[in-house]
Amino acid sequence: MLQLNPPIPLTIVDNPDGIPTGNGIAYFVEEGGIDDDLIWVIALNDNGQCWSVRNRYVRFIWNKTYGRKDMKR
């Protein structure tokens, strides 16, 4: 498990695991192994819940500080 410093803003997209979708901050990432996804530990902005999310359901989001462009424009 690797602690992210600084944490990374991410969004969780639709997934079959029943995890809520939305924007949050990733504080840790765990290597799942050679045959598995990375696992992101994300605290959601809306409700403060903390979830472990498979890499395939995580996307980077717009963040001016990091110089990422808004994908919606």
Return the sign of the alpha-carbon dihedral for residues 19, 45, 5, 13.
positive
The SS3 assignment for 45 reads coil
Assess if residue 57 is contained within a domain. yes
Q: Is residue 58 part of a domain?
A: yes
Task: Answer whether residue 6 is part of any domain.
Answer: yes
**Can you give the residue range of the structural domain that contains 32?**
2-63
Q: Which of 26, 24, 22, 37 is nearest to 2 (CA)?
A: 26
What's the mean pLDDT when you consider all of the chain?
87
Question: Of the candidates 36, 49, 45, which has an alpha carbon nearest to the alpha carbon of residue 11?
Answer: 45
69 falls within a domain:
no
Range in 7-11, 32-36, 48-52 the model is least confident about: 32-36
Q: Which amino acid is at 68?
A: R
CATH no. for residue 25? Answer: 2.30.30
CB 12 within 8 A of CB 24: yes
**What does the pLDDT average to over 48-65?**
86
pTM: 0.79
70 within a domain of the structure (yes/no): no
Candidate from 34-38, 58-62, 69-73 with smallest mean pLDDT: 69-73
Whether 68 maps to a domain, the answer reads: no
Total number of domains in the chain: 1
